[in-house]
Amino acid sequence: MCRWIAYRGETIPLEQYVTAPAHSLVVQSLKALESTASTNGDGFGMGWYGEHPEPGLYREVRPAWSDENLRYLCRHIRSHLYFGHVRASTGTPITRPNCHPFACGRWLFMHNGLIGNWTRLRRKVEALIPDEFYPSRIGTTDSEAVFLAILGAGGDKDPIGATRRTLATLTDMVGTNTEPLRFTAALANGRDLYAFRYAANDNANTLYYRESGDNVVVVSEPLDSERSHWKPVPPSHMIVAQAGKPVSLEPFLAEARVAAE
Amino acid sequence: MCRWIAYRGETIPLEQYVTAPAHSLVVQSLKALESTASTNGDGFGMGWYGEHPEPGLYREVRPAWSDENLRYLCRHIRSHLYFGHVRASTGTPITRPNCHPFACGRWLFMHNGLIGNWTRLRRKVEALIPDEFYPSRIGTTDSEAVFLAILGAGGDKDPIGATRRTLATLTDMVGTNTEPLRFTAALANGRDLYAFRYAANDNANTLYYRESGDNVVVVSEPLDSERSHWKPVPPSHMIVAQAGKPVSLEPFLAEARVAAE
Amino acid sequence: MCRWIAYRGETIPLEQYVTAPAHSLVVQSLKALESTASTNGDGFGMGWYGEHPEPGLYREVRPAWSDENLRYLCRHIRSHLYFGHVRASTGTPITRPNCHPFACGRWLFMHNGLIGNWTRLRRKVEALIPDEFYPSRIGTTDSEAVFLAILGAGGDKDPIGATRRTLATLTDMVGTNTEPLRFTAALANGRDLYAFRYAANDNANTLYYRESGDNVVVVSEPLDSERSHWKPVPPSHMIVAQAGKPVSLEPFLAEARVAAE
Amino acid sequence: MCRWIAYRGETIPLEQYVTAPAHSLVVQSLKALESTASTNGDGFGMGWYGEHPEPGLYREVRPAWSDENLRYLCRHIRSHLYFGHVRASTGTPITRPNCHPFACGRWLFMHNGLIGNWTRLRRKVEALIPDEFYPSRIGTTDSEAVFLAILGAGGDKDPIGATRRTLATLTDMVGTNTEPLRFTAALANGRDLYAFRYAANDNANTLYYRESGDNVVVVSEPLDSERSHWKPVPPSHMIVAQAGKPVSLEPFLAEARVAAE
């Protein structure tokens, strides 16, 4: 299990959520509280939008807690929409292309979860990626494959529908009550942010959000001890934070087979 | 284009060919002479056989010339059959799983060359890898895919035949006079060493060998200025160095369409 | 606080203590039990003696738990005297030259501990290193400085005496009841192994050893749950394991001011 | 010998000089033209000023040419005053703290050159660093030591005078006609940029500058083939680019003993 944060709102330095809070993402890399993996030291990454239509990306195989570049970059880079992710690998190698977030065109994606028995299902999931997007498969994770499958399913025009269709397909692949599928993910295009919490055959990984004016931050676990500010996203739900619209919590994909939490 | 060396013979420290010669592999990483890429600084790797049936592997994304670990390891590790490789990437990311050599079971493989238009052909080549070997695809290079395709074609029992069949298939894939296919590679199982020089639609990359008693070393380019000691392997030929047999130079795969050298 | 193991005895693969045990050094890198730092992910290193008079060294800034090279090397390198160390930095940068063990000529050294207020005392400690050994100061840690100070105090001919004199000097530097000085360290020359447990103004870091025939392994914390096999080294004591002599537990340096454990 | 660029002027993306030109700094990392070291692959770094009074820093041990993070950061980070540096080590280890630029408070510094016989002179040069600045010595290069010596000589209030005094002291240290001292360096505080070209007992390393309106860029070698736009800085001279004043070329430190160019 990994830990991540996603922010959309007024332009702020990345440090406000990545390095500054008491229980910041960098602190979580060394000691997460709501994760089965208390250490998230298998690389990390940040993605952000600025003046260029395509996002910036900084990914590194070293743990976030000891990366001095990260502190400088978080202080100096400002963004209205950014992602931060610390990784606990579920088996794929610790390489930069396997670190989240993943970028493709103007889209960013990051993930906490897994496709159970990836070795057996990998080819089927990779087959969901259309030829057009296969050159963007530069790593080997299940997460990157799911991202490119979503884009291949029409994610650019219909991000929610494409994500829903892809996850329904993946749910069919893992089958009822067999392999776990956990998908707690964020998707953005520079204007809009979507965050999903879903699972099949398992409990969904935790997800929280906090609103403050027009700003919203979505996190794997709260960044401070003021728990009342952090609202849980229920399983099978999503956060939709589109430009010019209020943030909304909506149903994502009903999963009858999900275990009770 | 990369540079590599492969050795089979009496047990010696790796340094004898990797770091010690005047124009050692490490020197070639900074300044190769017979390569279109004079700098081979996109990672490196070594593979060797010892008492364990499976080979050892040391791969790193930094350039070989500045890796202090490499010097210590080459001084201390002794082997009767080992590979060394310095990489000049043809496009795939600089990650450890993309560095040569590649290991699978008791087999080692390394490569200097490319499959032209890898983006277009990648799926077809990956489809040559049987499900049994697909979990060993931990990187994204064309070279690793060819290695696993060879093993999938029966490389364990018939390494020469499986390599020949795989290269014939790849030659069909690139087509006549279209995309280049260059394959200068080494394959070993702990007892036997095979080294191939082949190309379609292009000149084959250089390959030399040097025999001394029962020892043989095969190299992308000579390791010293005594050029008379180094015999070129002709295009479409291979070196076969099997345990208990004399080293032989044999035809590999006729390629009528190869350009004149 | 770091974690380390040191072994002297018959020639064995490094994996026997570094990667194989239930609570191996690599497991401790992710989750140590008797350390204030439960994660030791700030780089790691191994040093070992083979046929060459000078030791081999492999140091890396990534965490030990995710380094695939480490597993290959531990399986293939065999030694009669070797060190393994996983680091939790006390402030100096995560670089290879700052990872333990440190090598100088035929000597190896590694350390778990610290010199309190290193910023204030650094120049004084560095001044203990004679000019002859100052070119070997390639990193910036307190540990490397202490090692070179020991060699400068005559460590090559009288390792115990030189270590005792150096630590007495350091104890004077930190002063009574002011800055902590913790020194749990191993020193070797290819034949003999010395391991020290000492502290001033603080509790000494834990140290255990286990004998089995002529073999001895010294560890920061036991490698398995058979606690009865692991004997604690008392504070202010040392293990002396010299070639051709029985292993002995001896007083090192009395420290009246050390706090009760 | 390293290669570097320094820019002061209107706010632009870093890519304009680091990655975009035909003979950009990144191209020079693989193939420099006016350097004795044609490959500058021993790490790299960037420093820049934004809204925060202290500069940002990104340093990495891998070669600049293969660092995908560098391309993203250069596209997204904008600055009115920034440095870029690709390193060819003269002997000190390839670590991030040994990569240029170096930062201390609001000051940035980078260097192309060396202090001859650094092993012999290191202690003397380090002794020039006052205690106040010694905690900022996090690496082991001659360049970082010179930077901290300049700050210790009053660089914050009188950068030109402090640099001149420090280089005069260093010239005395190397002595007449003995060890070479080459110093081609840039110094900045967020408002003002200074670039120096000087040597003792050797030819000074090349330095060029190009003005365009109020913008100035200073480089080790021209970034494109329009050589007429690039004016050489003569040996023993400096570029002074202070906020609100025209850029000026001024004498730095007369060096009678410098060899003819």
Q: What is the pLDDT of residues A102-137, one digit of tens each?
A: 999 999 999 999 999 898 899 999 999 999 999 999
- Provide DSSP, B173-187: HHTTTTS-EEEEEEE
Q: Residue D226 in 3-state DSSP? A: coil
Q: How many beta carbons lie within 10 A of that of residue D41, not counting itself?
A: 27
- Closest residue to C95, CB basis, from D97, D119, D131: D97
CB pairs under 8 A between A and D: 46
Distance (Å, rounded) from C-alpha A1 to C-alpha A206?
10
A62 shares contact with chain B (CB less than 8 Å): no
- Closest residue to D134, CB basis, from C96, C123, C134: C123
- Closest residue to C39, CB basis, from A30, A62, A94: A30
Q: How many beta carbons lie within 10 A of that of residue B164, not counting itself?
A: 19
CA-based nearest distance A255→chain C, Å? 35
D125 has pLDDT over 70: yes
pLDDT score at C101: 98
Residue type, C171: T
A50 shares contact with chain D (CB less than 8 Å): yes
For residue B2, indicate whether it is catalytic: yes
C94 shares contact with chain A (CB less than 8 Å): yes
CB contact under 8 A, D95 and C96: yes
D256 has pLDDT over 50: no
Measured between beta carbons, which residues in chain B are less than 8 angstroms from residue C51?
Answer: 76, 78
Distance (Å, rounded) from C-alpha D136 to C-alpha A130?
52
C258 has pLDDT over 50: no
Query: What's the whole-number mean pLDDT along residues A34-55?
Result: 91
B261 has pLDDT over 50: no
Measured between beta carbons, which residues in chain B are less than 8 angstroms from residue A122?
Answer: 134
- Single out the residue of B191, B143, B130, B195 nearest to residue B170, CA to CA: B143
Distance (Å, rounded) from C-alpha A117 to C-alpha A124?
12
CB contact under 8 A, A59 and D75: no
Query: What's the whole-number mean pLDDT along residues C89-109?
Result: 96
Measured between beta carbons, which residues in chain C are less than 8 angstroms from residue A70?
Answer: none
B259 has pLDDT over 50: no
- Provide DSSP, D151-163: HHTTTTT-HHHHH
C104 has pLDDT over 50: yes
C254 shares contact with chain A (CB less than 8 Å): no
Token pair belonging to B168: 């014939």
The share of chain A scoring above pLDDT 70, in percent, equals 97
Find out whether B218 and B186 touch, Cβ atoms under 8 Å.
Answer: yes
pLDDT score at C259: 46
Q: What is the pLDDT of residues D51-109, one digit of tens each?
A: 999 999 999 999 999 999 999 999 999 999 999 999 999 889 999 999 999 999 999 99
C138 shares contact with chain D (CB less than 8 Å): yes
Q: How many beta carbons lie within 10 A of that of residue D246, not counting itself?
A: 10
B62 shares contact with chain D (CB less than 8 Å): yes
Q: What is the pLDDT of residues B157-194, one digit of tens each?
A: 999 999 999 999 999 999 877 899 999 999 999 999 99
D112 has pLDDT over 70: yes
CB contact under 8 A, D134 and C122: yes
- Closest residue to A41, CB basis, from C41, C89, C93: C41
Q: Which residue in chain C has the smallest CA separation from A87? A: C66
D157 shares contact with chain A (CB less than 8 Å): no
D66 shares contact with chain A (CB less than 8 Å): no
pLDDT score at D21: 92
Q: Which residue in chain A has the smallest CA separation from C61? A: A62
Query: What's the whole-number mean pLDDT along residues C42-63?
Result: 96
pLDDT score at C257: 53
A257 has pLDDT over 60: no
∠ CA C97-C102-C104, rounded to 5°: 110
CB contact under 8 A, A62 and C66: no
Q: Where are the alpha helices (DSSP H) in D41-127?
A: 68-76, 118-126
SS3 content of chain D, % helix, strand, coil (to 5): 25, 30, 45
B117 shares contact with chain D (CB less than 8 Å): no
Find out whether B89 and B181 touch, Cβ atoms under 8 Å.
Answer: no
Looking at this predicted complex, what is its ipTM? 0.93
Q: Which residue in chain D has the smallest CA separation from B37? A: D30
pLDDT score at D33: 84
**Torsion of the alpha carbons at D164, D170, D172 and D174, rounded to the nearest 10:** -150
pLDDT score at A243: 94
pLDDT score at C226: 87
- Closest residue to C41, CB basis, from A63, A89, A93: A63
CA-based nearest distance A29→chain C, Å? 11
Confidence category of residue B257, pLDDT binned at 50, 70, 90: low
Distance (Å, rounded) from C-alpha B110 to C-alpha D87?
30
Confidence category of residue D238, pLDDT binned at 50, 70, 90: very high
Q: Which of C34-48, C64-78, C193-207, D229-243 has the lowest mean pLDDT?
A: C34-48
D139 shares contact with chain B (CB less than 8 Å): no
Measured between beta carbons, which residues in chain D are less than 8 angstroms from residue C95?
Answer: 93, 95-97
What mean pLDDT is reported for chain C?
94
Measured between beta carbons, which residues in chain D are less than 8 angstroms from residue A52?
Answer: 75-76
CB contact under 8 A, C69 and B60: yes
A137 shares contact with chain B (CB less than 8 Å): yes
Query: What's the whole-number mean pLDDT along residues C127-146?
Result: 97
Find out whether D158 and D238 touch, Cβ atoms under 8 Å.
Answer: no
Q: Which pTM does this prediction carry?
A: 0.95
Query: What's the whole-number mean pLDDT along residues B136-164?
Result: 97
CA-based nearest distance A26→chain C, Å? 14
C196 has pLDDT over 50: yes
A153 has pLDDT over 70: yes
A48 shares contact with chain D (CB less than 8 Å): yes
pLDDT score at D90: 84
A27 shares contact with chain C (CB less than 8 Å): no
Measured between beta carbons, which residues in chain B are less than 8 angstroms from residue D94?
Answer: 62, 66
- Provide DSSP, A80-135: EEEEEEE---SSS---GGGSSPEEETTEEEEEEEEETTHHHHHHHHHTTS-GGGGG
The share of chain B scoring above pLDDT 90, in percent, equals 86
A25 has pLDDT over 60: yes
Window 165-204 of A, Cβ < 8 Å to C: none
Residue C122: how many CA atoms within 13 Å on its side-chain side? 23
Q: What is the pLDDT of residues D134-162, one digit of tens each?
A: 999 999 999 999 999 999 999 999 999 99
Query: What's the whole-number mean pLDDT along residues C25-33?
Result: 90
Measured between beta carbons, which residues in chain D are less than 8 angstroms from residue B42?
Answer: 66
Q: Where are the alpha helices (DSSP H) in D92-198?
A: 118-126, 142-152, 159-174
Distance (Å, rounded) from C-alpha D223 to C-alpha A260?
63
- Single out the residue of C124, C132, C180 nearest to residue C154, CA to CA: C132
pLDDT score at B227: 83
pLDDT score at B37: 73
| Residues in CB range of A57: below 8 A, 6 or more apart | A45, A46, A47, A101, A103, D68, D69, D72
CB contact under 8 A, D41 and B68: no
CA-based nearest distance B255→chain C, Å? 39
CA-based nearest distance B127→chain D, Å? 29
CA-based nearest distance A92→chain B, Å? 7
- Closest residue to B39, CB basis, from D39, D61, D62: D39
- Closest residue to B123, CB basis, from A95, A96, A134: A134
| Most A-contacting residue of C62, C87, C92 (CB-CB within 10 A), to test interface | C62
DSSP D229: G
What mean pLDDT is reported for chain B?
94
CB contact under 8 A, C69 and B76: no
pLDDT score at A227: 83
Q: Residue B257 in 3-state DSSP? A: coil
B72 shares contact with chain C (CB less than 8 Å): yes
